[in-house]
Amino acid sequence: MVVPLSPGTPWLSSVAALKGNDLVVGDEDGFPAEQLVRSVKRAITERWQTIPVGPPDSGVEVEVDEVIAAIFTEIRKRAGNSLNGGEIRLGCPAMWDGAQRKRLIRIAKSVGLSVTDATLIDEPVAAGLAWIADHQLTGDDPISGRVLVFDMGGGTLDVAVLDIASESVKEVSVLSSRGNPLAGDQLDEAITADLIGEIEGAGVDFAALRQPAQARALIARMARETKIALSTQELHTLVLPMLVFGRYVEIDYTRQRVETAFHPLMVQAEKLVEEALVEAQLKERFRDVPGFLPRVTTNDLDYIMLVGGMSQIPYVRQRLAARFPEVAFVRREQADPVEAVAKGLTDNTGYEHINLHRPAFDFVLEWDGGSQRRLLYEAYTPLYREWQAASGRARLNYERRGRGMRLPRQGRGHLRVVSPSGKPVRLAVDGAAIDKLPVRFGLHELVFKIYCDGQLLLTDGTGKQTAMRVDRWPIIKNRDDASLELKKLKRKPMDAPPIWFVGNGAQA
């Protein structure tokens, strides 16, 4: 069920304003721009603890968690009894790691929302599920193939490559995800700066105005309105009131000017898309070959799905269509770009068949009957850093070494897989069910590696290496829902030398 939160639109704007010592949520009218907090989800992406509110010379620092809690509290208030007794699901960017996800869950729980790690769903996955569900109603041919989800909102851009295996079971796998904080807020700022320049050129001296802060706030609001209007029309006229600016000013703002302001952001967005497609290739196409990567081609995608309000600006579709001329765009009537994530979160059947591009659970080394534990891998940790890909490493992987972990020099332990909620995950190796993998300690350094293509390599204290592989990293909610299916490999993965360069098809 999607619970409407506002009378005009079903959603609540995630904007907050500081009024005295109180936070006012969902209402920006009547507040100067410097008193507003927009796109606060971006603060979790950037790992901010506080965010400035108010004029630069006299503002205050507000706790990010407090702002998000205020938004959740308002949601609870508006939803009323609809949230009582049922499972509540939250969406988050696919690029978030374990610490970022836990932070959101902790804030939600602090205001009484019944959420767990099992009900936190990656937003591009939710959008894909919504598309599949709506597609079933049309009676069209079943969906399968590779989908680029381009989710641009106010504060962040989230790009993910999904693989839809079969409509019959609604299995959705995330092959890669990337994100950055360059989105709608930055475009608003660019249009605002452009408007201020033109207004000053018309003879308005902001320093001489009676209320310059109010004037700039009005321009910022007009900039957002202009951006929205020019998504459906070629020209938008702004009329500035004489009471605020001291003179009558009329500006004809064109879509071309919006596209000029938008261009630097789209260049960065296209770079992000290329990186996501390269990562998807690392996982799927060249998983057994540590050699060079060819350039990304139009054959790497079947569909492009535009999600989020900013993605509806025509320039977005225009640029992506030029880059991928043979790829079909998901039609708006098939998946509403604004509500797709919320609708996807309500899907129950698809929710049971979600796979990610990295483990959604912890790998823990235990010994002495489980009294001694060391975390080898924390759920959702990226398998490599962006600079590693840019350096040309063909075998990108996560690595954890025993150095500094104070491990025994003899004896035995075991490797256990644990969900973020603390429940052990059932394992199966070559079809045989087990609870844990045996590990021997010794004089050699223990090394644990996870590769982008699903390969695992464990070197124990005796120097013995065990190589395994998983085709997909499933979301595991509890011990009874799913198991981690591993297969032993005879050939160990190789860490290849840097022989290729990630870029526009260039190779060293």
Q: Are 161 and 175 in contact (CB under 8 A)?
A: yes
Classify each residue of 84-106 as buried b or exposed e, where b means 16 or more C-beta atoms within 10 Å of its C-beta: eeeebbbbbbbbbebebbbbbbe
Nearest to 469 by CA among 479, 480, 447, 484: 484
- The hierarchical CATH code for the domain 124-177+287-353 is 3.30.420.40
pLDDT at 57: 66
pLDDT of residue 33: 72
458 near 398, Cβ under 8 Å? no
Contacts within 8 Å (CB) and 24+ apart, 373-378: 374/405, 374/407, 376/400, 376/415, 376/448, 377/448, 377/450, 378/97, 378/98, 378/99
pLDDT of residue 120: 87
Helix (H) or strand (E) holding 480: none
- Find out whether 115 and 76 touch, Cβ atoms under 8 Å: no
- Which residue numbers in the chain have pLDDT < 70? 1, 29-30, 55-58, 85, 136-142, 166-170, 283-299, 349-352, 387, 389-395, 477-482, 491-508
Q: What is the pLDDT of residue 141?
A: 66
Residues 6+ apart with CB under 8 A from 22: none
Question: What is the pLDDT at residue 459?
Answer: 94
Rounded to 5°, the CA angle 45-47-51 comes to 100
Other beta carbons less than 10 A from residue 432's beta carbon = 8
Q: Other CB atoms closer than 10 Å to residue 414's CB: what's the count?
A: 15
Q: Where are the domains of the chain?
A: 16-119, 124-177+287-353, 358-489
CA angle 269/122/158 to nearest 5° reads 10
CB atoms within 10 A of CB 363: 23
Q: Which of 185, 235, 247, 240 is nearest to 13 (CA)?
A: 185
173 contacts 124 by C-beta, under 8 angstroms: no
- pLDDT, residue 64, reads 94
Pick from 480, 475, 479: which is nearest to 172 by CA?
A: 475
Token code pair at residue 44: 């979790």
What pLDDT was estimated at residue 290?
43
- Taking the C-alpha atoms of residue 304 and residue 143, their distance in angstroms, rounded to an integer, is 13
Q: What is the pLDDT of residue 493?
A: 64
Report which residue type is found at 164: I
**Over the stretch 90-105, which tens digit does the pLDDT of each residue have?**
999 888 888 999 999 9
| Per-residue model confidence as pLDDT tens digits over 304-326 | 999 888 888 899 999 999 999 98
Q: Are 508 and 398 in contact (CB under 8 A)?
A: no
Provide Rg for the chain, Cα atoms.
25
Read off the DSSP letter of residue 424: B
CA 279, distance to chain mean position in Å, is 15
- What are the φ/ψ torsions at residue 212 (nearest 5 degrees)? -60, -35
- Cα angle 486, 489, 491 (rounded to 5 degrees) comes to 155
DSSP bridge partners of 253: 236
Output the pLDDT for position 503: 36
The C-alpha atoms of residue 249 and residue 241 are separated, in whole angstroms, by 7
CA distance 123 to 273: 16
pLDDT number for residue 372: 95
What stretches of 168-209 adopt beta strand conformation (E)?
Answer: 172-180
